[in-house]
Chain A
Amino acid sequence: MNAQHGPVRAISRALSRAIIRSFSSASSTSSRPPQSAPAFPFKNVTKLNFDASLAELRHHVRASDFVAIDLEMTGITSAPWRDSFEFDRSDVRYLKVKDSAEKFAVIQFGVCPFRWDSCNQSFVAHPHNFYIFPRQELPSFGTSYEFLCQTASIDFLAKYQFDFNACINEGISYLSREQEEEAKQCSNLTYDGELSDMWCNLKDVRDIPLVSMVDILFTERMKTKFSEWCDGLLQDRRGEVQFQRTSEDSKQQLQVVFFKMRPALSLDGFTSHQLNLIQLVIKKHFKDLSYVSVNNENSSLQHLVVYTDSKDDLKLLMKEVKDEQHKGAEMKIQAAIGFRHVIDLLSSEKKLIVGHNCFLDFAHVYSKFIGSLPLTAEVFVSSINNYFPHIIDTKMLLNANYVLQQRMRKSSTSLSSAFVLLCPQIAINSRSTHPASDSCVKVEVQVNDLRSSSWNPGATHEAGYDAFMTGCVFAQACSHLGIDFKLHEPSENLAHKEQLQKHINLLYLSWTNGDIIDLRTGNKVAESSGSLNLKKRCPVILFENIVLIWGFCSKLKANELRECISKVFGVRSVVSVYHLDKTAVFVQFSKTELVSDFLILKDKLERSDGPISVLHPLAKLLEGGNTCAASYDTYKEICGSPISELLFADQARAVGIKWKSKLVEQKVAKESEQDENSSEENIAPSSSKKVKSLNVELKKQSTLLHCVL
C-alpha cells in the first residue's frame, strides 16, 4: 500500500482507459476498428488562442448547470515517505497535500461546463483542455520560479503522449491573487517611491576618468553633435533636417524622434560604456538636455536624449514618463494574470464545481491562483468555501450512496471505471448497438460546432477528457439519486437540490483511511458505515500510542523489530509495525504509557554503556548508534518542513534533529530541550563521541557473543 500513490492513481486510470478501449472494440460490430473512426477534436487552449477561448468559455460557464474540472500535475509526492499512508492523522495528511501542491506544477487544466438542453433532453458538454505553464512573465518580479517533477509521473504522462513542448512553449502562464498584489506593490515602489528617479537621475552617474584616447575622442565627438543639434533646434525649427544631413555616418546611432511632444535623439547601438560617457557629457555640458531610459513596447530598454525648454518642462516630462511606465507596468501585470481569469470566472459565477477525489486539486488551485496555502486544513477549507461555495466530489458521491454502490457493483471507484460502468453509452463508440436505457442521462459533447453523443479519444491522457468523464459520471449519479433533469428548470441551481445536500462540500482528505472534511465547517467526518471504501474495516489507529523510530540498521525487518520490542514490553505490547520507508517505522503500542516507557528505556540504554545495554533485547534495534525515536508529533513536524530528502532518516537530519529520543512526558521533554540549548556546539560532539565509544563497545561485545554461541 505504500507504493507510490501518484502513479498508482494515474495507472489505475490508465488501466480503466484500457478497459474502455477493449469494451469499445468488443462492442463495435462493424468491421471498422475504433481507431479509424474520425477522431472527435480536442479543444486545446494555449496562449495562442487563450483570449478567444476565454470569451467563449465565459459564455458557456454562465449558461451551465455545473462545471467539471480536472488537473494534470508534474508529480504527487516529493519523497516516498510523504506518500499517503493509513497512519496519516488528518493534520499530517493536510501537510502532505500542502507539500505536494507547493512543490509540483499544474501543467494541464481541464474545464468542462455542462448545460441541460431541454429541447434535446440531454446535457451539452464543452470540454476545454488548457495547457498551462508557470512562465515568468514579469521580469522585474523577484520570485524565481521553480517546480519539482516526479520522474514516475512525467514518465507516465509521456506514455500517454503528453505534449511537453506545447506546455513549455505555449502554455498559459498565471499569477495568483497574492502574486498580483505583490507585483502591484513592487511596481508602486518602483515608480512612486524614492527609486522612481533612479533611471533618469543624473546624480548617479559616476565620474569616469577619461583614461583612454578613444574615450576622450568619443566624448568630444558626442559633445559637438549634441551642441550642433541643440543650436539647430534653437535657431531653426527645421534643425532636424540640418542635423540629419551632417551626421549621415552615425545615422543608425542617433536618430531624431519626438518623445512626449519634445524633440529627442534616440541612442542606438552604443555600448553601455559609451552610454555612460554620453550621460556624463549631457550632465556636464547641457542644461537643456536630459538623458532618459524607458522600456519600449518590446520591453527592451530605449535610451534617449530629450530636449526640454525649462526646468518645469523637465519636471513635467519626468512625471509623464513615470506615469506612462507605471501604466505600462500595470498593463503587464494584468496580462500576466493569464489562466487565473478562468479560476476567477468559476469563482465569481458561483457554479457547482465537480471534481473526482479533488482535495489535492483544490489545494493546487489555491496555491497557484489564490495564495500561499494556510497552515491548517480548517483555514484552508473555509477559504476554499469562500471562493467556491458549491463543490461536489464524484468519488465521495459514489461511495456514500447505497443506490450508487449497487450500480457500481462494488467495483473500483476510480474515475474511468466509474465512467465505463455508469455511462457506457458515452464511453463506447457505438450509437446504435447500445440502446440507451431510460436511466441513462444523455450527454452530447460539443467542440466548436461539432457535436457527438459519444467521445472516446483513445490512448490519450488529457485533463479535458478527464473533466468530461467526471461531469458525465456526476450527471448519471444525479439521475440515480432521483434527480430528474427533464423537470429541471434552467434557473434552478443544481447545488440546492435536496438529493445532493448530503454530499455537497464534502471532500476526502484521505481516501486511504476514509477521512472526510466538511468544507463549510472544517469538521472532519468519519466515513459512513455503508461506505464502499474497503479500508474502513481496518482497526482504529490511536496516534498517541505510536512511536516513530528511524535510523536503525537497514537490514532490520518489521517482524524482527516487533520481536525485539515484544521481548521487553510483552508479547501483546505491539499492535502493529508499519514501514514508512527502509529507514523508518511506526510502531503502534497497545497502551499509551508504553510510548513513554519505550522512549525512556531507549534513552537509558544509550546513556549507559556496559554489558546490560549490550545484552539487552533492544540492542539489536539500537545497533549502529543512529537509531532515533519520538512520538507521532515529530512526524508531523518533519512533514511540515519544506525540505524533501529521499529517505526519512536523511530528512530528519536535514530538518535539524540532533537528539536521539524525544521523551514524551512534558517535564522530561523540557529538561532535554534545555539541555539542548545550553549544549549548543560544545557538548554535542562529545555526546556523539560517547555514542561512538558505546558503539565500539557494543560491537566488541556482540562479536564476543557470536563466538561464544
Chain B
Amino acid sequence: MVSTPPLLRRRFLCTTVSKNWTVKQVTKSNFQESLEDIKNHISSSDFIAVSLQKTGSYSAPLHRVLSIDTPEIAYWKAKYAAERFQVLQFAVCPFSIRASNYVIAHPYNFHLFPRDELKIGMPSYSFSCQTSYLTATAREGFDFNSCIYDGISYLSRMQESAAKTQMGNPIPSPDVIKSSSVPTLADTLFVQRIRSRIKHWKNTCKSSSLKTDEPLLWSIRKIVLGNEEYRSRPCMTIDVCSERQVQLVLEMLEDFSDDLVPLIIPAKGGSIQAVRVVWTSSKEEKELFERELQNVEEEENKKIRGFREVIELISASQKPVVSHNSLNDFTFIHSKFIAPLPPKVDEFMCSLRMVFPYVLELNILMKKIGPLRKTTNISAAISYLKNHFLAPIDIEIPHKATVNEGKVHGHNALKICLLFAKLCSILKISPSVIESGNEDLAPTLKGLANIFSRFSTNLEEPVDGNISFWSSSTRKVMSEHLVFLWGFKGGITAGMLKGLLRESHDIFSREFDVKLVDKSTAIVVFWQPGLSQTFVDIINSDGISGSLRELVSDGLKGTCYETYKRVCRLGLWELNLAGSLDRALMKTDCYLEDDSKRIQSEMYWYNDDVINLEEL
C-alpha cells in the first residue's frame, strides 16, 4: 500500500479530462472501414481499454452487490443483469504507455443495436430497459436514435453456428478421411447408383459446354431440362439420408477427376440434407471457384458476426484488457458475444480466460492506494489522484476529428486509459511491454490480472470519510452465521429491533448484532457458531413461546443465508428483499438443487447499524 504523500496541489501539471478528446464514433455505415483501422491499432498497442453503455444495471435496489455477498452471489447478480439488459455502446480504446507518462490512445465508440439483420430471430428477441438508467444516460446527452437507427448488429459465437445451419448456406466440404468401416451391401449399391448418375451428368456438362448456345436457348434449356446452376456453374444435388452417406459420396467423388467441387447443404435441424456437386471446366476454373467460395464465406461471416468481429480482434491479439467494474462488463460481453453465461462463477472465469487471457480491473489497482479503496467512480478517482499526487499524464490521440464532434460518447474508455496510466505511474508499476523486454505482461500486472473486484458498488462511506474508523470496527463474519429476518413493523430501526429480539428469547442473551438491509429486512449475526441454525429452527418450529411467539404471530419470519443465495441464483428480484425471500421460500422444490458442498464464505462486517442503500 502506498502511503499518501503530502498534498501536492499542482493541478496545472495534470491532464484534465478534456472535452476535446475525439472519439471515433462507429455506426453501421462506417463499420467496415473502421474495422481495418482498429485492427491495426489493436496490433500496435499494448493494452485495450473497454467500457460499455447499457440499458440498465439492476432490477431492484438489492440487486446491486452488497457487502454480504459472496463472489458467487456477485456473479449471479451480474449474470442476471447481463441476460436482461442490452449493450447500446461499446467503447474500445487500444493504447500504449510510453516513458511512464505518455499515452498514445486510439479511442473508438461502437454504436450497437441487436437488429435481426438475417431475419432469424437473433441476436435478441427482446431486452429490458431500466427507466432511471435511461433517464440518467439521456441527461448526459446520449443519442438513442443513433444507436437504434444505425447501430451495428452482432451474433455471439454460439449464435453464429446456429445461424449458419439455420440459413442452410452450402458449406465447402472438409477434406475426406477414408473411413475404416467395411462398406455394407446397401452402401455399395448407393455408391454405384450415384456414381453412374454423376458420370452421366458430367458428360452432358462437358458436351453442352462445347456448344456455344445462344443465351436465350441456354435459359430455355435450363428451364426445360431442369438443369441446376450454382454461381453460374452447372451443378447437381444428391439427396442423402445420413452422415454415412455423405461420407460415401465424398469418398466416391475423390475418384473423379479434379473438376468437381462438392458442397454440403445443411438441413434446419443441424443435420445434412444434401451434397451439391459443382462442375468446373478446368483446373484453373476449379481453383477460381474455390477462391470465390472462400470469399463468399468470409463476406458471409463478416455479415453474420457484425460487431463481434471487434471482440474477435481483441481476443486474437491476446492483449491485456483494462476495464472498470469488469465483472459487470465481462458478464455482458460473455453473454452477448461469446455464449450464454454458465451457472457457476468458476466456469465463467474459465470460459472468459479462453477468450481474454488478461483482464485488468481498475478497482484492484485503486485498492492499492488507501484512500481510493472505496472509490468506484472513475472521474472521482482521477480528480482525487490529480489533487494528491504528482503524476501528470499526456494523452495523445492521433485520430482526426470525426463528424460526431461535440458528443461526449465513449469517453469512459479514455478515462480508463488515463486512470490506468496514472495508477501505474503512482504505484511504480512499469506497464510498458517494450521496457520490460519480453513480449509478456509485466510481472506485477500479471499478478493482478483476472481478479474481479467483488464490490462494484460502494457500500460504506463517501469518499472523504475516514477509512481507519471503519476498518477498526470491522469484524469478519461467516455467511452461515447470518439470519435474515423480515415481517416486522415498518419503520423500525436496527436498534429497536435488537431490543425487541433481546427480550424475545433466551438465544439472544448471547452476543448478536442486527443490521437493516432494506426497510423490510434485517440481518441478525450470531457471533457464536451454530446459534444461527438453532434460531432458524426455533422460529420455524411449532413450540415457540413467549414474546418471540408474539412476534412470529405478527408475521416475523426468519431464514438462513442459503435462502438469500437462492434469491440471487434464481433472480427472484422483488421490490424489497422480504418479497424476494418469501418467493424463494415458496420455491423450495426448485429444479436447480443446491450444491452439496456449502462453501463457507467470509465477509466483512461493518459495525454500523444500517447498510446504507442510499449511498450505493
Spell out A's residues near B (CB within 8 Å): 74-75, 78-80, 105, 133-136, 142-152, 154-155, 157-158, 161, 163-165, 168-169, 189, 193-195, 204, 206, 208-209, 211-212, 215, 271-273, 554-555, 644, 646, 653, 656, 658, 676, 680-681, 684-685
Contacts and interface: CB of A to CB of B under 8 A. Distances in A.
Contacts of B469: 208-209, 211
B130 interface: yes
Contacts of B116: 151-152, 155
B218 interface: no
Nearest to A581: B121
Contacts of B56: 146
B131 A135 contact: yes
A353 B466 CA distance: 62
Nearest to A274: B464
B446 interface: no
Contact of A151 (B114, B135, B145, B269): B114
A272 B148 CA distance: 41
Secondary structure class of chain A's binding surface, majority of residues:
loop
Given A154-B148, A208-B469, 13 more contacts: A78-B126, A144-B58, A146-B128, A155-B113, A158-B149, A271-B462, A272-B465, A273-B464, A555-B270, A644-B126, A646-B125, A653-B591, A658-B589
A135 B125 contact: no
B134 interface: yes
A235 B132 CA distance: 51
B383 to A, nearest CB: 15
Contact of A155 (B115, B143, B145, B270): B115
Contacts of A215: 466
B491 A194 contact: yes
A262 to B, nearest CB: 28
Contacts of B127: 148-149, 151
B131 A165 contact: no
B59 interface: yes
B468 interface: yes
10 contacts: A74-B129, A142-B519, A144-B130, A146-B59, A147-B128, A149-B129, A151-B115, A555-B270, A646-B125, A658-B591
A685 B132 contact: no
A165 B491 contact: no
Contact of B132 (A136, A554, A656): A136
A136 B135 contact: yes
Interface in B445-498: 461-462, 464-466, 468-469, 490-491, 493
A640 to B, nearest CB: 15
Nearest to B146: A165
A158 B126 contact: no
Interface in B98-115: 113-115
A428 to B, nearest CB: 29
A145 B130 contact: yes
Contacts of B465: 271-273
B544 interface: no
Contacts of A142: 61, 519, 575-576
Contact of B593 (A79, A656, A685): A685
A80 B121 contact: yes
Contacts of A144: 58-61, 130, 132, 575
B590 interface: yes
A209 B113 CA distance: 53
Contacts of B55: 149
B138 interface: yes
Given A212-B466, A680-B589, A169 B138 contact: yes
Interface of B: 55-56, 58-61, 86, 113-116, 121, 124-132, 134-135, 138, 143-145, 148-149, 269-271, 461-462, 464-466, 468-469, 490-491, 493, 519, 575-576, 587-591, 593, 608
Nearest to A203: B495
A150 B491 contact: no
A75 B130 contact: no
Those 8 A-B pairs whose CB atoms lie nearest each other, nearest first: A145-B131, A555-B269, A164-B144, A271-B464, A195-B491, A158-B148, A168-B138, A150-B126
A165 B145 contact: yes
B466 A273 contact: yes
Residue picked from B125, B519, B575, B587, most chain A C-beta under 10 Å: B125
B128 A211 contact: no
Contacts of A152: 116, 125
A165 B134 CA distance: 10
Given A147-B131, A152-B116, A555-B271, A189 B491 contact: yes
B130 A146 contact: yes
A356 B482 CA distance: 56
B576 A168 contact: no
Residue picked from A135, A144, A209, A273, most chain B C-beta under 10 Å: A144
Nearest to B490: A189
B132 A193 contact: no
A168 B115 contact: no
Contacts of A204: 493
A442 to B, nearest CB: 37
Residue picked from A151, A206, A658, most chain B C-beta under 10 Å: A151
B441 to A, nearest CB: 39
A250 to B, nearest CB: 17
A230 B347 CA distance: 65
A646 B120 CA distance: 13
A644 B125 CA distance: 11
Contacts of A644: 126
A417 B453 CA distance: 58
Contacts of A136: 131-132, 135
B466 A211 contact: yes
Given A151-B115, A151-B127, A164 B145 contact: yes
A34 B269 CA distance: 49
A148 B135 contact: no
A2 to B, nearest CB: 12
A656 B590 CA distance: 6
A74 B134 CA distance: 14
A134 B125 contact: no
Nearest to A194: B491
Contacts of B468: 211-212
A672 B587 CA distance: 18
A157 B149 CA distance: 9
A133 B126 contact: no
Nearest to A193: B491
A195 B593 CA distance: 41
A301 to B, nearest CB: 10
Contacts of A134: 131
B145 A75 contact: no
Contacts of B491: 189, 193-195
A675 to B, nearest CB: 12
Contacts of A105: 129
Nearest to B590: A656
Contacts of B466: 211-212, 215, 273
Contacts of B145: 158, 163-165
A52 to B, nearest CB: 23
Contact of B134 (A168, A209, A646, A681): A168
A149 B131 contact: no
Contacts of A554: 269
A151 B593 contact: no
Contacts of B575: 142-144
A193 B86 CA distance: 41
Contacts of B593: 681, 684-685
Contacts of B129: 74, 105, 146-149
A151 B124 contact: yes
B462 A273 contact: yes
Contacts of A212: 466, 468
A149 B56 CA distance: 12
A147 B462 CA distance: 31
Given A80-B125, A194-B491, A658-B591, A168 B60 contact: no
A642 to B, nearest CB: 11
B132 A145 contact: yes
Contacts of A145: 130-132
